[in-house]
Structure 1
């Protein structure tokens, strides 16, 4: 039996654009990049966040999602026969805004739903757990890395039970810019609970190649991918591209990693 489940690397299923306000490039730039790399399919996975106390909007409003679908439908038609273009969403879980999240999800015909959690609420504001901004890193260190990670995994566990989704995104990416980050026995137990939820609800695990820009492994790492594959959980690749040239990045490394 192979160590890893087969994964289809003919498509990149986690792509952002300038619409999220922290990436660059038009939607069509990404489609052209995917076609030039010989991909057969691609999925835009634009950010949906609700109820955050945060200094910058780095997600799409309903008005921007309307623009997103208008342009996306145009691109689907224009590039039909060259590449399959899917219009998805990366849902940032916030339990205090669950109803608003559900309302927005019901408003648009998202073809693919990725679930994630980017923010930790410290009682007065939301701190970005995946940010490289030193201000946020320092604030999260003050809270305590173990406490933040426990809250992060607990949020993902909660989200998997509350929001219908197709995959869980970059499972172990929280605090990725913190030096010497470690997962405790408690965190490992939470990851095991998450994997059981994925299997029970038929939710795929994303293999996010943006990890290679920070460490010599994707998100999540090989050990978690191995456990998921052994449990029969599907694996879906995504580059988490924020620039057109990042489409399909590090897919060859994933091919090598996932080889039997």
Structure 2
């Protein structure tokens, strides 16, 4: 018996490309990889971030989003008989730039909206929660995982209440590069609140298989996935591919 509730694995719905400036590979290479793996559908989910104090641009500008749509629409036509391609967006929540985020979302016809939170503001700069850079890891460790997770889950609740979206991405990935940390009762309470908001807003939960690259579970944990399913929240799989060969990675583990 599979460890996981039923989930449709015929499509990979979290794929990045070199346009985000921290992945590699052309859009067409990802499409070809998905076709080769027998997928029936795929969703590009390129990064949208606003208002960050960060040293590197690892998201798309309006000009790059225009390029993204032009190339993506061409690929939709070229591969129409082989695979369904959606052009989506991964929205990085930043409460201080909410209006700017909404303006960008209104500017482009995104077919799928994933919501996430990648950064923690320490009072002077934004620290990347998912970065493997030693400087960011050291700074986050100094702050402490308990405080970071309190802010992280609170931000996700706020984001789900304010930004119309289809799914929540990699729910518990905030401590990706930090030592294992046991969630407190307060963190569990915040996760429960978050799932309730998701149910009310009809927001699906992403099962992000990139988690298997760093731990024996996806993002989020199987326990959180089961909590979501009990609430009637839908599941959507995504590899979080940043290289063409990562499309559909670890989907076989979810299949059992």
Which bin holds the TM-score, normalised by the shorter protein? over 0.9
List structure 1 runs of 4+ shifted beyond 2 angstroms: 2-6
Residue in 2 that maps onto 1:81: 81
8 Å CA contact 2:4, 2:222 repeated in 1:
no
8 Å CA contact 2:209, 2:218 repeated in 1:
yes
Q: What are the equivalent positions in structure 2 for 1:1-260 lying under 5 Å apart?
A: 5-256=5-256
Tell me the TM-score normalized by structure 2.
0.98
Change (3 A) 1:3 1:251: closer
8 Å CA contact 1:4, 1:230 repeated in 2:
no
Equivalent-residue separation in structure 2 for 1:179 and 1:143 (angstroms) = 13
Shift of 1:115: 0.2
Extract unaligned runs of 5+ from structure 1: none
Tell me the TM-score normalized by structure 1.
0.96
8 Å CA contact 2:153, 2:191 repeated in 1:
yes
Shift of 1:16: 0.2
Equivalent-residue separation in structure 2 for 1:168 and 1:20 (angstroms) = 19
8 Å CA contact 2:4, 2:254 repeated in 1:
no
Equivalent-residue separation in structure 2 for 1:161 and 1:93 (angstroms) = 11
8 Å CA contact 1:5, 1:234 repeated in 2:
no
8 Å CA contact 1:210, 1:239 repeated in 2:
yes
Equivalent-residue separation in structure 1 for 2:22 and 2:8 (angstroms) = 28
8 Å CA contact 1:3, 1:226 repeated in 2:
no
| Count of aligned pairs between the two proteins | 255
Equivalent-residue separation in structure 1 for 2:11 and 2:126 (angstroms) = 33
Equivalent-residue separation in structure 2 for 1:77 and 1:20 (angstroms) = 23
Q: Match of 1:174, SS?
A: helix
Q: Match of 2:178, SS?
A: coil
Shift of 1:6: 2.3
Post-superposition CA distance 1:80-113 (Å, at most 9, x none): 0100000000000000000000000000000000
Shift of 1:131: 1.1
Extract unaligned runs of 5+ from structure 2: none
Shift of 1:132: 1.2
Q: Match of 1:140, SS?
A: helix
Equivalent-residue separation in structure 1 for 2:70 and 2:46 (angstroms) = 14
> How well do the aligned residues superpose, as a CA RMSD in angstroms?
1.0
Change (3 A) 1:42 1:49: same
Equivalent-residue separation in structure 1 for 2:21 and 2:27 (angstroms) = 13
